[in-house]
Amino acid sequence: MSNITSIINCNFGGIRRKDSVFSSDKITCSDCQNVELFFTELNSGVGIRTTSGNTSVCKILPADEKIIGFFESTQLGNKYLFLYTESETQGKLYSFNIKANSLKEILNGLTVTGKASGVDFAQGWLDMFIFSNGEEVKYIYSNTETSEALIIESPENIKLVDVEDRTVKGLGLVVFDGRLWIFNDKILWYSQKGDCRIFNYVDTEIKTSSGYIEFVKNITAIYPYLGSLAVFHKDSSVLIKLDETTLFKQEEESPGGCASYNSLVFHGTDLYFYDDTKKGVFSFQQIVNGDKTLGENIALDIQDELMKIQPADIDSIRALSVVTSDRNEVWFLIPISDDKKYSYVMIFDYIRGEWVKRKCQHINTIGIFDSTLYSAGNKLYQEYTGDDFDGEFIECYFKCTLFNLGSDNTLKITKFPPRITVDGSYINDFYVKYVKNYDLLKQPKIKHIKTKTIKNVLYYDTDQTWDSEYIYIPNALMQILKMPSATFKALEITIYTQDAGQGFYIKTLEMSKVKVKQI
């Protein structure tokens, strides 16, 4: 007894290990690397393509220094890019001009901590950039007469001690209620209102005075949210709200903790944070009456990657909201201790609600400057540029969810070769691998697929530009390509590259006339 079925899919998904699917509705993957989703404009479909890499934009740093963090600061209408670097002996803060490729040292001799936090504080009369590495807090501002010059605030004008004569230092710098907030261990300090340099002025009769709040548990992160300040611990959180009688009112503790000061981000309308005690990414969501509620764990499908994060590496996690002209994503740079050469970014595609994985050279941080995405390690890299990672090829693959039509005990025979539709306007030079019946010991079937497009012959010899003045080139050159036929009970299809210059741009996958036979 047998029957014929077909799978015609024009909708790919990301990494799914909890709700995986291989059907005409969607094809997800058990794993992928350096692959991204895109709208195909075919029946509201979603395709898969190799992602762009990155290129270095700062090669003039001393060889013994690595970038720990970088920050965008706007002062007197000018944008500055600050780089914080560390060698084995000291930390330094630079101002870097990308267009001029010039680097100016601002601070040196800082304590080596491997951490960095920074924030802008607009005081009206003077804009300041405040930087901290956990041990030293520095204030930097533009010279009002020559706006190109940067000045370090004199220590005489800064009061980094509280009323108990304790030194104010730490991480997680944020601005809330016109004050600078900073935490260290169990203490949360806030500056005088309107003056981010003063922490020791306390007058219970004046609501603009500085102060501190002590908790019974160590603070891991802080973030302004819904007109309040969210204070996170390892396994829980509280909201601090403005109060007419007590200045600040602390609400009851709620579940949902945050791992570290850089592992949370506001994106869309929600505050997302990584909770290491639950190995998940949760969010605070606003409900009808304006209060918050704890959202569900959106990272169940990538928990295998999160399980690799070691407690000693928690402070290396970075979360970033990426909203550009063509992207709406949340990036989570996660440290995997058994791989020191490369870094991994788990990317949540906010529009499509899917996860993909990006592998790149080792980096320490990620950020946005002037609406452009950058990462940094030994160099500063501009992301989503070029076909490789600063000259290094890193393979990409999309390992489809297992195809077995719901049963491993029936024989499937592809009467016609499976077909994929690609956009010939882009490079399509890749491999397709079949692993049948879970048999990893048997040599898999592999086919090399490489397309030829009309664009290959339309170059000028001199400047490599399209000769479109004489020949019209459509935006999309659709091509239908054959994959290998197969007989199997369960089939795992992997689409991948293995050499520099390869890539794919796939819009649909069709398995027509699959014969299903009882055995």
- Residue 413 makes CB contacts below 8 A (sequence gap 6+) with 487, 514, 515, 517
Cα–Cα separations (whole angstroms), residue 454 to 205, 269, 422, 428, 469 = 78, 45, 14, 13, 14
Average pLDDT of the residues in 303-311: 93
The mean pLDDT of the chain is: 90
Give the predicted TM-score (pTM) of the model: 0.92
Residue 496 has pLDDT above 60, yes or no: yes
Neighbours of 200 (CB within 10 A): 18
Q: Are 390 and 54 in contact (CB under 8 A)?
A: yes
What's the confidence (pLDDT) of residue 206? Answer: 73
Cα–Cα separations (whole angstroms), residue 320 to 121, 417, 488 = 20, 43, 43
pLDDT digits (tens, 9 = 90+) for 241-291: 887 666 788 888 888 899 999 999 999 989 999 999 999 999 988 765 556
Residue 120 has pLDDT above 50, yes or no: yes
The backbone torsions φ and ψ at residue 155, rounded to the nearest 5 degrees and listed phi first, read: -55, -25
What's the confidence (pLDDT) of residue 252? Answer: 84
What's the confidence (pLDDT) of residue 470? Answer: 47
The backbone torsions φ and ψ at residue 73, rounded to the nearest 5 degrees and listed phi first, read: -135, 135
The backbone torsions φ and ψ at residue 327, rounded to the nearest 5 degrees and listed phi first, read: -140, 145
What's the confidence (pLDDT) of residue 32? Answer: 97
Average pLDDT of the residues in 502-508: 96
Give the integer Cα–Cα distance in Å for 76 and 1.
78
Please name the residue that has the structure tokens 């200045």. 247
Q: Are 515 and 463 in contact (CB under 8 A)?
A: no
Average pLDDT of the residues in 357-377: 96
What's the confidence (pLDDT) of residue 1? Answer: 55
What's the confidence (pLDDT) of residue 478? Answer: 85
What's the confidence (pLDDT) of residue 461? Answer: 46
Residue 295 has pLDDT above 60, yes or no: yes
Percent pLDDT > 90 in the chain is 72
Average pLDDT of the residues in 365-391: 96
Q: How many residues comprise the chain?
A: 519
What's the confidence (pLDDT) of residue 157? Answer: 77
Domain segments of the chain: what residues? Answer: 2-51+397-518
pLDDT digits (tens, 9 = 90+) for 429-438: 999 999 999 9
Residue 223 has pLDDT above 90, yes or no: yes
The backbone torsions φ and ψ at residue 314, rounded to the nearest 5 degrees and listed phi first, read: -55, -40
Of 112, 132, 115, 113, nearest in space to 174 by CA:
132
Under CATH, to which class is 2-51+397-518 assigned? mainly beta
Give the integer Cα–Cα distance in Å for 287 and 269.
11
Of 28, 19, 25, nearest in space to 48 by CA:
28
